[in-house]
Amino acid sequence: MDSLTSYSDKVIISATLTMYLTGNAGGGVWGEPPDSYIQVFAVGEEWDEATISWNNAPLASENISGIWVQPKMTDEWLTYRWDISRAVVDAIDANNPLRLALYSADGEYHSGKYFSSSDWDSPKGRPFLSVVIGKSCDAPDIDCSFLYIPLANKSNNN
């Protein structure tokens, strides 16, 4: 995140966390695994990856984003993306590192989802953060135009 602070005349347009689903629990006598709603939380404190546990993990400070993750049913890895723009902006504004935690409140034993981690052998399979930066609409050399398209709700009233 330190490299983004040098763009003082820019704003964060978007930030996306991309992760790859490599497998899941379930199957067999447990039945097919269900979809899981996986949330990304901002965490306000640091932790030590070597010693973190359920009992000493820092608390989540804010629910940032969530998406439905379907079970992996093929040999192909599945790509999932979370919009974490607000967390990136908040971290930069507070001059803090970006700290995130993923969580699912699934209660079933066979609902677990397995994602590749940052220590995956190939860099291509590791999670990554994409940040799009640009100039603010109030910058002197920028003319922003917005087009608002109303949503139409058709109903059949016969």
Domain ranges of the chain: 2-135
- Ranges 90-94, 115-119, 146-150, 151-155: which has the least confidence: 151-155
Q: What is the pLDDT of residues 50-95, one digit of tens each?
A: 999 989 999 999 999 999 999 888 888 899 999 999 999 999 989 8
Q: Are 99 and 61 in contact (CB under 8 A)?
A: no
When pLDDT is averaged across residues 110-135 and rounded to a whole number, the result is 88
- Ranges 47-51, 97-101, 145-149: which has the least confidence: 145-149
Instruction: Give the type of residue at 130.
Output: S
Q: What is the pLDDT of residues 124-134, one digit of tens each?
A: 889 999 999 88
